[in-house]
A = this chain, B = another copy of it.
C-alpha cells in the first residue's frame, strides 16, 4: 500500500503505473490518497495536517507493507508505532541504501527550505558523517512538473556540481515528485542515482520476504 500523503487523487493513477512497473510480479500495489489535506508537502505545517489521516489509514486498511510516499518521512515514527505491519518512508529507504553504494552522499532537494529540514532528518538518522550535502534546485515542489525539461536540467546541473566540487559519489533525489523523470536522468549523472519511491517499494518487498518489520519493542511499542 502506497499512501500519497496529499489531499488529491490526481496523481494516484500515474503513481500506480510507476510502482507497478517497479514492483515484483507478485506484489499488489494499492494507492491511497487523503480525503483532505494540502496538495503538496512543502512545510512542517503541511506534515502536521496530513498525519492524523495517515495514521487512521494505517490502522484501518488491510496491507502487508505501507509506504508514506514523501521523501521528508512525515510522521514516520508514529506510523511505525501504530502499525503492526511493515512501514517505510522513501527518505529513509533511499538514504540507508545509498550508504552501500559510495562513501559521500548528496541529496538534491527541490527548494532551499528543504535543506535544513533534510539535514535535521539526516542527523536524526545518525548518518551525517556520510550524507552531508543537501543541494537545492530552487524549484518548489508544485512547479517540478510544470516544465520537465527545466527540472531535469536543474537536477543534472546540481548533481554535476556536487559530484565535481563536493566529491559526492552517490546522489539521492530529495522528492518523490521527481520519480517520473528519474530514469531519464541516470545516464546524465556520473554516479549512482537513487529514486526514493522505488527504493521504498523494493525495501518493503525485501523486508516482507525476510519476514522482518520495525521493532515493536520500546521505541515503536504502542
Q: Is the CB of A215 within 8 A of B170?
A: yes
Q: Is the CB of A102 within 8 A of B48?
A: no
Query: How many Å lie between the Cα of A97 and that of B99 in the bound state?
Result: 10
Q: Is the CB of B218 within 8 A of A115?
A: yes
Interface string of A92-135 (1 = CB under 8 A from B): 11001101111110000000110111011001111111100000
Query: How many Å lie between the Cα of A219 and that of B24 in the bound state?
Result: 31
Q: Is A194 an interface residue (CB 8 A)?
A: yes
- Of B115, B206, B209, the contact of A167 (CB 8 Å cutoff): B115
9 example contacts (A-B, Cβ-Cβ < 8 A) are as follows: A44-B77, A44-B78, A48-B55, A48-B78, A77-B117, A99-B125, A127-B129, A169-B217, A170-B215
Q: Is the CB of B167 within 8 A of A82?
A: no
Q: Is A88 an interface residue (CB 8 A)?
A: yes
10 closest A-B pairs by beta carbon, nearest first, are A126-B129, A102-B215, A44-B78, A116-B219, A169-B215, A48-B51, A126-B130, A44-B77, A103-B116, A202-B206
Q: Is the CB of B127 within 8 A of A217?
A: no
Number of interface residues of A (CB under 8 A): 71
The answer to whether residues A81 and B215 also contact, given A202-B206, A221-B113 and a CB cut-off of 8 A, is: no
Q: Is A70 an interface residue (CB 8 A)?
A: no
Which residues of A (126-169) have their CB < 8 Å from a CB of B? 126-130, 163, 167, 169
Which residues of A (30-66) have their CB < 8 Å from a CB of B? 43-45, 47-49, 51-52, 55
Q: Counting chain B CB atoms within 10 Å of each CB, which of A75, A125, A214, A217 scores highest? A: A217
Query: How many Å lie between the Cα of A85 and that of B49 in the bound state?
Result: 21
Q: Is the CB of B93 within 8 A of A96?
A: no
Chain B residue numbers with a CB within 8 Å of A207 are: 100
Q: Is the CB of A103 within 8 A of B119?
A: yes
Query: How many Å lie between the Cα of A77 and that of B120 in the bound state?
Result: 11
Q: Is A29 an interface residue (CB 8 A)?
A: no
Q: Is the CB of A96 within 8 A of B103?
A: no
